[in-house]
Structure 1
Amino acid sequence: MESWHRNRLSVRQAELVEAWLPGVSLVTDLSWNLLDTAILEVADAADGQRRYIVKAAGPSNHHISREIDAHESWVSVWSRQNRAPMLVQSDRSENILVTEYLDGSLVEGTAAEYCPDTYQQAGYLLRIFHEQTARTDVDYEVRATAKALSWLEKPHRISKSQVEQAKAVLGAYRPKPVVLVPTHGDWQPRNWLIDGSELRIIDFGRYDLRPAVTDLCRLAVQQWKSHSYLEGAFFEGYGTDFRDSELWNLTLLREAVSTAAWAYQVGDPKFEAQGHRMLRDALGNFS
């Protein structure tokens, strides 16, 4: 078997790709190298111009399954407009999927990252994604709060005083039923592409049904924090600022705790530092 996958895939995963795309060749390895997820841009042997993205991971990685869920449920609202990639093949048992390659450059690190039109489009695209279905869940907030508390019991570098503050806030919270909608889970410029002036969406490894506000956390603590005009542009596209102050503040706190702890565990110091900034700001909402 050709070694185009350079040991990124298991033998069985490579066999599946060869069966789906005979004679495929590697174009670029796009893997992040933090987890065991392989992200490979490949070309079709019959037509070198036709490219695909192969995503695969080990058996304990849940991101591929979530991505398949997203493609099999709600991503088509974007992919029909060429705003997200189409699913080509997948195998849940082997934790692998293939999508069509989507033209465009990552928004993060470019002028588009601070362009109001980017955020107006992001607001519109997120609204049509959120609007596809909704259901009330009486236990979601209980589960989410318990998960945040569990992060504080795992290895991290959060200070003792902040741990105590976070536990006090989370312990005093009385969860209520919330409405869940399809969410991307990592809605930010590193998962957006710009092709000309058109915004496109990638990476559904954190897809799930959650409260809509959870998709705003990344932007609120990053781009909106330093460039507030982008927040206004986003809600112009979305249509309304739907944040409830109590749920929003609790969501930011839980996100901060999980970010700081998770980033420490996977060895991402930059993201960990962001998590600590988020935690400081989130706790300030309760002081």
Structure 2
Amino acid sequence: MRQTKPLPAAVQEWAEQRVGPVVSVRDASHNWDRSRVWELEGADGVHRYVKVSPSEKFFTRETRAYRHVVPALGHSRAPSLLDSRAQDLVLLLTAVPGVPAKDLDLAAGDWRAVHRQAGALCARLHEAGALNRTDRAEAEASLGAAADGAETYLARAGDRLTGDEQQLIRDHTARLRRVGPVPLGYIHGDNQPRNWLWSEAGLALVDFERSRPAARVQDLVILSATQWVDHPDRKKAFLQSYGRTLTDAEQQALRCLTALDAVNCLAWGPDNGDEMVTARGRRTLDQLMREGWA
């Protein structure tokens, strides 16, 4: 059972200086140690969120995303940044309506509607302005950076992978370095139903701490390894509203990135007691071992 995290008094005081008295606080963190998010209800009845970033890198990414990228999603499709405090890595955000889609028991047609709206929002995010020279360089290097992490994941996973499985990961890593140019843009970085809020008003995206310039296809890895494995209709709905099919290079990159996601899950999941992440990695790796390269 997750332990409730108290809101630091200094953070609440800072928030109240900006929005007025707070009458209630709810821990809204994800179920991992470094996640620190609280929902605040003000005396004015308005709900807002305070987030303490887990690192300076995540704080920088998220504040930049809210200022320069997220507005492309449109009104009520994501929170807005009210203020931030760099020395404490804290952000003050508006609330958007909805419940995380992962917590909902939706019918098949409703899930397709969720993915259809997610595809449209991701397209807006990925196309949110031209990349400047620095961002383009980072985006162009993103697949190589992903490949560079493979040996670290393999070392951490250790004997959770067989020798043949380790070789499969290395083969996919080598192929990832050769896929060629792919479309670039600003990605969410943790694009999955736990960060999709669903309501009668439609879908909204939250949690932009991993947002960065990268290969656009990197935003589809978790979906490919989870939502779309057993539900190709959801993938079809997403891509229809995304507005285009994936290029051959993107399809190859997605397969390679999914292999790297699997070994990362098998490195991180058991060490952190996360059975769902561990199962995701094992399932993906087993499937890749059965299929080989198509």
TM-score normalised by L of structure 2 = 0.84
Partner of 2:167: 164
Contact 2:140/2:215 (8 A) holds in 1: no
- CA 1:72–1:259 in 2, change beyond 3 Å: closer, same or farther? farther
Contact 1:157/1:264 (8 A) holds in 2: no
State the Cα distance separating 1:84 from its structure 2 match: 0.6
Contact 1:8/1:38 (8 A) holds in 2: no
Contact 1:156/1:264 (8 A) holds in 2: no
Partner of 2:259: 253
Counterpart CA distance in 2 for 1:185 and 1:113 is: 27
Partner of 2:144: 142
Residue 31 of structure 1 aligns with an amino acid whose one-letter code is S
User: Structure 2: which 5+ residue stretches go unaligned?
Assistant: none
1:55-66 counterparts in 2 under 5 A?
Answer: 55-57=51-53, 60=55, 62-66=57-61
1:84-123 counterparts in 2 under 5 A?
Answer: 84-112=78-106, 114=108, 115=110, 116-123=112-119
Partner of 1:281: 287
- CA 1:259–1:92 in 2, change beyond 3 Å: closer, same or farther? farther
Q: Percent same amino acid at aligned positions?
A: 27
Residue 43 of structure 1 aligns with an amino acid whose one-letter code is E
**Correspondence 1:266 to 2:238:** no
State the Cα distance separating 1:12 from its structure 2 match: 4.0
Residue 193 of structure 2 aligns with an amino acid whose one-letter code is P
Tell me which moved more, 174-183 or 101-110: 174-183
Contact 2:101/2:194 (8 A) holds in 1: yes
State the Cα distance separating 1:13 from its structure 2 match: 3.0
Partner of 1:43: 41
1:198-237 counterparts in 2 under 5 A?
Answer: 198-237=202-241
Q: Secondary structure at the match of 1:186?
A: coil
State the Cα distance separating 1:170 from its structure 2 match: 2.1
Contact 2:157/2:263 (8 A) holds in 1: no
User: Structure 1: which 5+ residue stretches go unaligned?
Assistant: 1-5
Q: Quick check: which one's helix share is greater?
A: 2
Tell me which moved more, 188-197 or 22-31: 22-31
Residue 123 of structure 1 aligns with an amino acid whose one-letter code is G
Counterpart CA distance in 1 for 2:288 and 2:13 is: 47
- CA 1:28–1:155 in 2, change beyond 3 Å: closer, same or farther? same
Q: Secondary structure at the match of 2:229?
A: helix
TM-score normalised by L of structure 1 = 0.86
Instruction: Tell me how large the CA RMSD over aligned residues is.
Output: 2.5
Contact 1:22/1:44 (8 A) holds in 2: yes
- CA 1:92–1:266 in 2, change beyond 3 Å: closer, same or farther? farther
Q: Secondary structure at the match of 1:54?
A: strand
Contact 1:12/1:94 (8 A) holds in 2: no
Residue 280 of structure 1 aligns with an amino acid whose one-letter code is D
Residue 117 of structure 2 aligns with an amino acid whose one-letter code is Q
**Correspondence 1:25 to 2:23:** yes
Contact 1:158/1:276 (8 A) holds in 2: no
Partner of 2:75: 81
State the Cα distance separating 1:10 from its structure 2 match: 4.3
State the Cα distance separating 1:206 from its structure 2 match: 1.8
Contact 1:123/1:236 (8 A) holds in 2: yes
Partner of 1:3: none
Q: Secondary structure at the match of 2:263?
A: helix
